[in-house]
Amino acid sequence: MPSILIIDDEQGIRSVLKDVLADEGYDVLLAEDGLRGLSLLETNPVDLVILDVWLPNMGGIDVLKKLKTDFPDIEVIIISGHANIDLAVNAVKIGAFDFLEKPLSLERTITVVRNALALEGLRKENRNLKNTLFIEDRMVGESESMQKIRAIIDQSAASDARILILGENGTGKELVARAIHLKSRRAAGPFVEVNCAAIPDTLIESELFGHEKGAFTSAVAQRKGRFELAHRGSIFLDEVADLSLSAQAKVLRVIQELTFERVGGEEKIEVDVRIIAATNKDIQKEIKAGRFREDLFFRLNVIPVFVPPLRERLSDLPFLISYFMEKYKPPKVSEPRTLSENAMRTLEAYAWPGNIRELKNFMERVNIMTEEPVISEAAVAQYLGAMSTERDTARLKEFEHLNLNQAKEEFEKEFITRKLHEHKSNISKTAQALGLYPSNLHSKLKKYGITVERGK
Ligand SMILES: Nc1ncnc2c1ncn2[C@@H]1O[C@H](COP(=O)(O)OP(=O)(O)OP(=O)(O)O)[C@@H](O)[C@H]1O
Ligand SMILES: [Mg+2]
């Protein structure tokens, strides 16, 4: 049964309401002022608050504002005397569901309570629906690093601390960002994603902060930016290292002042937004090269989360495989497929440069293409091979904007990393395979900042 908190300093009102609502079957909690009411909410799940607008200590309107920011899901009904009806009207403007005038009509009280709870129920349903659409995969994996990530998600949920998620392509950064939002008190609010790499430099400011009509030629109407759309929710600045320096300066200002102006506008817009950022770039390198502001890095990196590449958490592989086998099980097959032992070995030895996204695509493909209930090494090799050719073509595109020297260096770095992995981080074997002296290999590792993990 829904539970209702009544906040009113008049003992008479509290007890009448309590009797009526308890008769209707609701759980009822009572508080004689706002502070006590708010502290009850910290420990008791409540669906609806009935709030006197005229209260000692903290006034009803202030309590309402606090409720709306800290517990946006809870509906609020205001009780007001005839003398302060304007306060009640104001309360509805701020977000109260409705108000009841004293002396209370019990019939009307019950109707308004029912309506408010119906709306609250709808919102909840809507939110649950949204959340299931929201996360396309649950976060699978039991490795130490996954457990650490889960712990950070739980710890950071209650606060508004900014989070910077680092990790290679396809490691699950976006999944982590969404999980943080959904665990936070902002879960009912918006989650607004901005792919900073995909928006051209000339448009990024208007994308982020919006623009006024006429701010530039194509600005035919006023438009809200992503920061404004994310009000009371979270903004996810994906590929944040790709922001231009001028956009970085603007973002830094929003963080410091919590206000901004739309492009071409004067009005200061205040937003309540939690920032979650992510990048697959080596951000230290970007800072050193002068492409990323160090002060912005410190502001964004309040809680760092590193999502390691799949090849460094191979203990997650079996869990991920059975999860995706289940997910992509063809309808006519009765049991999810499994892998032969050798097929499993092949997958373990593979470097997974596209990480979990690559594994996911691979599992989907295998399930569509093969008929084997136990998938063989040969089938695995065939589809992995096909994928790496496609990926290599895509990879070459990434070099397009580099000059030859930069492209060579990128390639060298990746090639060495792969060879190291192949030789289980054994320096002398890797050096031999590369035709280098170990000392030479060492200096290259240092140059590229490649760290060698032992005992893998
Ligand atoms: N631990 C996991 N368990 C299950 N699925 C996962 C996991 N991590 C990632 N995925 C899935 O893998 C795909 C890639 O994840 P995601 O988009 O979060 O990666 P990313 O780090 O943001 O990649 P990119 O840098 O390329 O944007 C998504 O479909 C996601 O649902
Ligand atoms: Mg991503």
Q: What is the pLDDT of residues 382-415, one digit of tens each?
A: 888 777 666 667 677 777 778 888 888 888 998 9
Domain 144-306 has CATH 3.90.870.40: no
Which class does domain 310-398 fall in?
mainly alpha
Q: What is the CATH number of domain 3-132?
A: 3.40.50.2300
Query: pTM for the whole thing?
Result: 0.64
Determine the pLDDT at residue 145: 95
pLDDT, tens digit (0-9, with 9 covering 90-100), for 149-172:
999 998 887 789 999 999 999 999
How close is the Cα of 242 to the center of ligand 2, in Å? 13
146 vs 221, which has greater pLDDT? 146
For ligand 1, mutation pick of 321, 328, 356 (most atoms within 8 Å of CB): 356
pLDDT, tens digit (0-9, with 9 covering 90-100), for 223-271:
889 999 998 899 999 999 999 998 999 999 999 988 899 989 988 999 9
How far apart (Å, rounded) are the C-alpha atoms in residues 50 and 76? 6
Question: Once rounded to an integer, what is the mean pLDDT over residues 319-332?
Answer: 93
- pLDDT-derived band at 295, boundaries 50, 70, 90: very high
pLDDT, tens digit (0-9, with 9 covering 90-100), for 116-144:
998 877 777 666 665 554 678 889 999 99
Going by alpha carbons, the residue nearest to atom 31 of ligand 1 is 137
% of the chain at pLDDT higher than 90: 56
Going by alpha carbons, the residue nearest to atom 25 of ligand 1 is 169
Going by alpha carbons, the residue nearest to atom 28 of ligand 1 is 357
Going by alpha carbons, the residue nearest to atom 10 of ligand 1 is 172
Q: Is the pLDDT of residue 211 over 60?
A: yes
Every domain of the chain and the residues it spans? 3-132, 144-306, 310-398, 404-448
Tokens of 8: 């009113």
Q: What is the mean pLDDT of the chain?
A: 89
**Closest ligand to 279 CA?**
1
Q: Is the pLDDT of residue 335 over 70?
A: yes
How close is the Cα of 2 to the center of ligand 2, in Å? 39
For ligand 1, mutation pick of 145, 163, 164, 174 (most atoms within 8 Å of CB): 174
> DSSP E strands: which ranges in 205-364?
210-211, 223-224, 234-238, 259-260, 269-270, 274-279, 303-306, 338-339
How far apart (Å, rounded) are the C-alpha atoms in residues 293 and 286? 9
Asked if the domains at 3-132 and 404-448 fall in one CATH topology, the answer is no
- Taking the CA of residue 238 as reference, the ligand 1 atom at the shortest distance is 27
219 vs 13, which has greater pLDDT? 13
How close is the Cα of 177 to the center of ligand 2, in Å? 9
Determine the pLDDT at residue 400: 76
How close is the Cα of 174 to the center of ligand 2, in Å? 5
pLDDT, tens digit (0-9, with 9 covering 90-100), for 187-202:
888 899 999 988 888 8
Determine the pLDDT at residue 131: 53
Cα Rg of the chain (Å, integer) = 28
**Closest ligand to 398 CA?**
1
Q: Is the pLDDT of residue 65 over 60?
A: yes
pLDDT, tens digit (0-9, with 9 covering 90-100), for 424-444:
889 999 999 999 999 999 999
How close is the Cα of 239 to the center of ligand 2, in Å? 7
DSSP string, 13-28: HHHHHHHHHHHTT-EE
- Per CATH, which fold does 404-448 belong to? Arc Repressor Mutant, subunit A (1.10.10)
What residues are in contact with ligand 1 under a 6 Å CB criterion? 136-137, 139-141, 167, 169-175, 280, 320, 356-357, 360
- Taking the CA of residue 146 as reference, the ligand 1 atom at the shortest distance is 1
Q: CB 105: neighbour CB atoms within 10 A? A: 12
- The amino acid present at 343, given as its one-letter code, is A
Determine the pLDDT at residue 130: 59
Chain centroid offset of residue 50 CA:
33
- pLDDT-derived band at 456, boundaries 50, 70, 90: very low
Name the residues around ion ligand 2, CB cutoff 5 A.
174
Determine the pLDDT at residue 127: 63
How close is the Cα of 196 to the center of ligand 1, in Å? 18
How close is the Cα of 210 to the center of ligand 2, in Å? 23
For ligand 1, mutation pick of 133, 171, 175 (most atoms within 8 Å of CB): 175
